[in-house]
Amino acid sequence: MTAQIAETVLDEAAADLLFRAGRTANSFTDEDVTDEQLRAIWDLTRMGPTAFNSQPLRITWLRKGAARERLLAHMSRGNQEKTAAAPVVAVLSFDNHWHRRFDEFMPGMAERTAPMAENFAANEALSHQIANNNANMQAGYFILAVRAIGLDAGPMSGFDAAGLDADFFADGSQKSFAVVNLGHAGDGAWGPAKPRYSFEDATTTL
């Protein structure tokens, strides 16, 4: 545990669970992950802030079976075994057409949002940039939500995103950016904690 300089609103156990003691899990027990737990993860994740309240993150849950086997073909060699063994795998993607739902995530503001929706529809590069940036923010909330309900997460970027998208999102509606293994960490799930950059290394005050 790092030394505490500023008092936190969360108690130390909660701060440890979410941040200081939270680790990327590389192996899991056989204990089941329930549908109720998956719903609880989303219920926390969805509350994090996004631009325009856009909420572009989409999650595809994969339990063991044919869909998981398809996923393995797109994972890098070093990620295949642990992805095959995890109780649940979450494919994180963003909605390419998030801007079509302004009436839902910003209701009662049609005069303002209709032109915005048209602008994003006409500018695919900007629309995808907004979606990617905000879905990646939501991925951080997602990992903290997993830890908050007592599970462990193993996020990965080592996979063929183009191949995965062609297989799972052939209609072009979503674009994947991360795959996360979920469950209860097993024996040898992680090694020693790796260094984190100091305040002086990573921040600048102007």
Q: How many domains does the chain have?
A: 1
Q: Taking 70 as the threshold, does the pLDDT of residue 6 lie above it? A: no
Q: Taking 60 as the threshold, does the pLDDT of residue 2 lie above it? A: no
At 165, list the tokens. Answer: 């998208």
17, part of any domain: no
100, part of any domain: yes
170, part of any domain: yes
95, part of any domain: yes
138, part of any domain: yes
18, part of any domain: no
The pLDDT of residue 3 is: 54
Q: What percent of the chain has pLDDT over 90?
A: 93
Neighbours of 85 (CB within 10 A): 17
DSSP-assigned beta bridge partners for residue 61: 90
Dist. CA 138–CA 125, nearest whole Å? 20
Q: What percent of the chain has pLDDT over 70?
A: 97
Report pLDDT digits (tens) over 97-147: 999 999 999 999 999 999 999 999 999 999 999 999 999 999 999 999 999
193, part of any domain: no
The pLDDT of residue 53 is: 97
At 177, list the tokens. Answer: 């950016």
> Could you tell me the pLDDT band of residue 191, with boundaries at 50, 70 and 90?
confident
Distance set, CA 140 to CA 77, 122, 133, 204 (Å) = 25, 29, 11, 22
SS3 content of the chain, % helix, strand, coil (to 5): 45, 15, 35
Straight-line distance from the first to the last Cα atom of the chain, in angstroms, rounded to the nearest whole number: 29
Q: Residue 89 is part of which domain span? A: 23-185
Report the CATH number that the domain containing residue 104 is assigned in CATH.
Answer: 3.40.109.10
136, part of any domain: yes
**What pTM value is reported for the model?**
0.94
